Chains A and B, each alone.
Chain A
Amino acid sequence: MHLRACVQQAQAGDATAVGELIAHFRPRIFRYCLSRLGSAELAEDMTQEVSMALVSALPAYEDRGVPFAAFVFGIASNKVLTMRRTLARRVEDATADLPERVEPAPGPAELAEQDDSLHDLLGQLDALPERQRDVLLLRVVSGLSAEEVAAALDLTPGNVRVLQHRALATLRGRLATAPAVATGGEAR
């Protein structure tokens, strides 16, 4: 089903269309949340929350030329920002409970290794201001265009291009001193 038609049907209360919308955006929302929060558990919870907020906000959406993806990721960006602020105040660190039986999925060791790797990569973005980081991840992880990012974050496309340019410049400066991170070599 075409996305626009799907949105219209979902707004009309079609449960199937709502389900299709969620199924369509859920992976992208999850990856965006993962890249912003750095934890699969948190990202999963946040994906649920964004999905619910999306469903709740559907009736308020008006198609005025703004891509629906911008509407979705505008919600996601706000939710993640709120969560990051909450996490900054919280002392506990959520960890997953690992099962004790054989799973075809990656085991704890693999998961830990992947987490470390992801943490290392995301750690390079810590030097960026919140807005630049958000713009960069929306562009490359969520796959939004500069115009969509601008609509999601209530910026102009020009602002978005400036922010992403500055973010890349900062990254280049950092990676020049730690090239192993960029190439995947041993950085530690």
Chain B
Amino acid sequence: MNDEYENVDELAADDALLDHLAAGGAPTAGDDPATAFLSRLVARVEAVPVPTATVRAANPRVPAARATTVYSCSVRPAPVGAAVISQAASRRHRLFVPIAAAAAVAVVGTAAAAATAGSDRGSVLHPLNTWIFGEDAPRTHAPHPGGSTSPRPGHGGSPSSIPGVATGGDAPTPGVSGPSQGVEGAPGLPVSGSPSGPGVTEVVPAAGTSRTPGAGSQPPSVAAGSVPTPSGAAEPSHTPPAMGPPVTPPAGWGSPPPGPATRPPGRPTTTPGNRPTTKPAPVNARDPSERAAVRQTQLAGRSRTG
């Protein structure tokens, strides 16, 4: 900071001016425009009513084990007659509650009337780490602000332990669609797969796709290694996949030369119509009988091409 380049007298004058304004002093005639401006700004800011509700709220109906700590939140009306209790800290965890349920918030403090949900606004400050309104609801997919207009599942929210209280659903916002008004917590479509849903995609290789020379049969494809889970998501299986029925390679190129019935380890490609690019495993890695068979094949190939 270039302190030494500033005029010390001017610094002191400005400091005194700001001290005067900070103490509530009014600008005098002949003051510079900045003084008048700052004085007006301070007066304007102080004209805005300070929310006086510093209250504590607790809902004994929410079991502590299921409740989440909402340290501070604001109570505001929602457009559809519900109150919005939003956690100020993150704005991510919003609870949309009907007026009746919100009114059940026990309010203690000097501005109780202002902080109940029936009023237009109020604040609930709870600094003492008591469980208050809310529960540890599963995170729903909040609509992106100004997001797409296509329907999105999962907006409905989840049931709460408070009767008639739904969590998660968001207020109707222009540009954001969703089946829920945010209040009743209409059950949305499942976000992740359901047990009956198509949790696993099983890919059966089509005939004519990649076939490794020498492979007599091939286990079912990649996705068969996944097993369905109750949630519908596919998880890799730790057990070897069941072998599928032998697939006869198509006639034409790639008639399997004599060889072991099992496919040698390698990296199959699934690009149809392409020349197989499976790189055979190193000869040394195989057992002696297989090694001899491969060697014979290679020799035969050389004699054909040579």
Q: Which residues of A contact B (CB under 8 A)?
A: 15, 18-19, 22-23, 26-27, 30-31, 34-35, 40, 44-49, 51-52, 55, 90-92, 96-99, 101, 103, 105, 114, 117-118, 121-122, 124, 136, 139-141, 143-146, 158-159, 161-165, 168, 171-172, 175-176, 179, 181-184
Scoring B residues 32 to 59 as 1 if CB is less than 8 Å from chain A, else 0, what string do you get? 1110111011101111111100100000
Q: Could you count the A-B residue pairs with CB atoms below 8 Å apart for me: how many are there?
A: 152
Are A97 and B77 in contact (CB-based, < 8 A)?
yes
Given contacts A48-B123, A92-B146, A158-B3, contact A114 B14 (CB under 8 A): no
Are B36 and A182 in contact (CB-based, < 8 A)?
yes
**27 interchain pairs, CB-CB under 8 A:** A15-B128, A27-B50, A30-B50, A31-B46, A35-B41, A44-B88, A45-B86, A52-B72, A52-B89, A92-B146, A97-B76, A99-B120, A117-B44, A121-B40, A122-B41, A140-B21, A140-B38, A140-B41, A140-B42, A161-B12, A162-B2, A163-B1, A165-B11, A168-B18, A175-B33, A179-B33, A182-B40
Chain B residue contacts of A18, Cβ below 8 A: 127-128
Closest partner residue, chain B, to A105 (CB atom): B49
Chain A residue contacts of B38, Cβ below 8 A: 136, 140, 171
Other-chain contact of B37, A27, A47, A171 (Cβ < 8 Å): A171
The winner among A45, A51, A96, A140 for most chain B CB atoms within 10 A is A140
Complex: A62 Cα to B287 Cα, angstroms? 75
Complex: A159 Cα to B74 Cα, angstroms? 38
Are B145 and A49 in contact (CB-based, < 8 A)?
no
Known: A139-B21, A143-B23, A168-B18. 18 other contacts (CB 8 A): A26-B50, A51-B125, A92-B145, A97-B76, A98-B120, A121-B40, A121-B41, A140-B21, A140-B41, A144-B22, A145-B22, A161-B12, A162-B1, A165-B14, A165-B15, A171-B34, A172-B32, A172-B33
Complex: A159 Cα to B86 Cα, angstroms? 39
Closest partner residue, chain B, to A35 (CB atom): B45
Chain A residue contacts of B125, Cβ below 8 A: 22, 48, 51-52
> Chain A interface secondary structure, helix, strand, loop or mixed?
helix
Are A48 and B72 in contact (CB-based, < 8 A)?
yes
Are B48 and A114 in contact (CB-based, < 8 A)?
yes
Tell me the B56-95 residues at the A interface (CB within 8 Å).
Answer: 71-74, 76-79, 86, 88-89, 91
Closest partner residue, chain A, to B171 (CB atom): A97
Tell me the minimal C-beta distance from A7 to chain B in angstroms. Answer: 15
Chain B residue contacts of A139, Cβ below 8 A: 18, 21-22
Interface residue count for B (Cβ, 8 Å)? 53
Chain A residue contacts of B145, Cβ below 8 A: 90-92
The winner among A91, A124, A182 for most chain B CB atoms within 10 A is A182
Q: Which residues of B contact A (CB under 8 A)?
A: 1-3, 6, 10-12, 14-15, 17-19, 21-23, 32-34, 36-38, 40-42, 44-51, 54, 71-74, 76-79, 86, 88-89, 91, 120-121, 123, 125, 127-128, 145-146
5 tightest A-B CB contacts, nearest first: A99-B120, A48-B72, A175-B33, A182-B37, A182-B33
Are B127 and A103 in contact (CB-based, < 8 A)?
no
Chain A residue contacts of B14, Cβ below 8 A: 161, 164-165, 168
Chain A residue contacts of B44, Cβ below 8 A: 114, 117-118, 121
